[in-house]
Structure 1
Amino acid sequence: MIVRDAGGTWQVVLQPEHAELSEEVARAWADRGPRHGSVVLAARRHDDGWATWERSPMVDGDGKPLSFLDVHVPAHLAFYRAGIAAITDEDPYAGLLVSMHGAGIYRQRYGSDPSLGLTRAPEAQTLVDAFVEEQEAGFPQRMEVSGVDDELRLADYHRLQWFDRFSLAFCLRDWDAPGDGFELGAFRLEPVAPWTARVSPWPFAEPELECSLVRRSVPKRAWRQDEFREAFFGLPVERVTIRFAE
């Protein structure tokens, strides 16, 4: 779950719902390689593993919905492996990109996002290192099966990271009113109206883009684990319209 403090409530976006927005960004992206269909699939499915955990979402010791950055790392490694395997069955190249994404979570997107890190990763550093080494050791065979070279897979990996980061920018920030602009790597996003961002340089093929985000608003209180699990999926689901503008 991606959890944002929204004042009187917590905004919660499930990982597959965040990935739906990543897919919409991917489909609209102007800079495309020859295997863009696989990259779009990777954007849609890059967080599939989380769906297992999110069938029974948890709260922390204070009764707050547990954010994805704070999940127990051994569980994360296990379900992410399963997600990579499932995606590989559908599209080996998408599987390679999601394998790179999974390893990159623990390597700050291979240096492109120094702020990224799972809170509890140091507690399981040996397991984390083994997971990263396992995924990286499989890259050459995955490349051979997919028929791609280093140049393409690295370019598509970094495209996938942009799709993920653009989506997370709307999951993790307040967009209910215009606000200060901020840097997102090589891009600048400026909230110019509710749920509307001016983007520069403009990365999309069309002069404007409309997407959507599914979210839930969780009343802010100290939840018990059993009652939160029971109540969460009964909460109203809201689909917010997101607009990108030059």
Structure 2
Amino acid sequence: MFITKHEDGFLYIVNQYDHSKQAGQVARHWGNEDFIRPQYFSSMCLGVEKHDIGWIESDEKVLFDKVKSQPVPFLSVNLLQHVDFYGKGYEKVKAEDTYAGLLVGMHWMGLYTSRFGYDPSFTFNIPQDLAPQINETITHMQKEWVDLKMELWKKKGPRSEFENHLWMNYEIVQFMDRLSQYVSMHKHDTTNKLVMGPVRRNLENKGTMITVQGQGDGTIVVDPFPFASHVETTVKQRKIPNVKYATHSEVYKALEEAEYEEVKWTFVPPVEKKTVEQVEFESVN
């Protein structure tokens, strides 16, 4: 679950898989004159949509922190549970679509490896006593991907081109995940600015950082803009009082009784700056 605290005394909660589905819907708008759609685009969108499908059970049962007496936010989930949830989701998506499953696996392992170096500022906190087990999981998964890649590539075109498209798709998955987190963890009136990426515009590009900033009214300016047109999207959230809950059952009941609210957001490109000549021409005419 995404759980954020705000000054109004409530916990704002978005289910992990609801976030995942919302991200997948937005991902399908990817691509314009500046940002290409890589190979396996439909599979990539499916991977975005289902990258958190393994978290459905935890969302339904509601993980509870007995010490803090509150539900557990996703970044505080026990590491072994984290591995279990993502592992189940990876297997489920892989059975449906091999390429999408591969991307979900890459997303999963990237959470323990600073996103394979794409985002050195981020990695899941790994306790020292669990490091050998996690490293073994990372190694095992990457060995498994060798066979998956061979199955998908089938010697159609250069292997380097296949890998290039795969890693570009991975970059898009990471961006879409973080963009969805932005609207899932901010209030509608946010003006917070975040820089995300890098994401390549094309296979030759070295990667572009993308700035995301709310305008205070549910409109989010994305610069540079990677979508075909303005994108309207909806986040499903619930609110429960930000208090200590005596038992797991008590917080579970509070969530059961909380009504879902649909919060609408719109992603838009930055307003083009007019040149002096344009302004003078428009004033004359």
With structure 2 as the length reference, what TM-score do the two structures score? 0.81
> Offset at 1:213?
0.6
Indicate the residue corresponding to 1:54 in structure 2. Answer: 59
Question: 1:40-189 residue pairs with structure 2 within 5 A?
Answer: 40-60=45-65, 61-119=67-125, 121-122=127-128, 124-147=130-153, 149-172=162-185, 174-185=186-197, 186-189=209-212
How many pairs does the alignment contain? 244
The CA distance in 1 between the partners of 2:226 and 2:100, in whole Å, is 22
The CA distance in 2 between the partners of 1:21 and 1:121, in whole Å, is 32
Letter in 2 for 1:168: Q
Pick aligned residue for 1:236 from 256, 259, 267: 259
Q: State the identity %.
A: 25
Indicate the residue corresponding to 1:211 in structure 2. Answer: 233
Letter in 1 for 2:180: S
- Structure 1 unaligned residues grouped into runs of 5+: none
Q: Which runs of 4+ in 1 moved over 6 A?
A: none
For the Cα contact (< 8 Å) 2:194–2:212, is it kept in 1?
yes
Structure 1 residues 5 and 115: CA distance shift in structure 2, 3 A = farther
Are positions 1:29 and 2:34 aligned together? no
RMSD: 1.7
For the Cα contact (< 8 Å) 2:231–2:266, is it kept in 1?
yes
With structure 1 as the length reference, what TM-score do the two structures score? 0.93
Letter in 2 for 1:219: P
The CA distance in 1 between the partners of 2:53 and 2:137, in whole Å, is 17
SS at match of 2:135: helix
Q: Indicate the structure (1 or 2) with the bigger Cα radius of gyration.
A: 2
> Offset at 1:78?
1.6
The CA distance in 1 between the partners of 2:109 and 2:242, in whole Å, is 34
Q: Which stretch of the first structure deviates more once superposed, 125-134 or 40-49?
A: 125-134
For the Cα contact (< 8 Å) 1:70–1:118, is it kept in 2?
no
Structure 1 residues 56 and 120: CA distance shift in structure 2, 3 A = farther
The CA distance in 2 between the partners of 1:116 and 1:244, in whole Å, is 25
For the Cα contact (< 8 Å) 2:220–2:266, is it kept in 1?
yes
> Offset at 1:121?
4.8
Q: Which stretch of the first structure deviates more once superposed, 144-153 or 134-143?
A: 144-153
The CA distance in 2 between the partners of 1:219 and 1:119, in whole Å, is 28
SS at match of 1:17: helix
Higher relative contact order (CA 8 A, sep 6+): 1
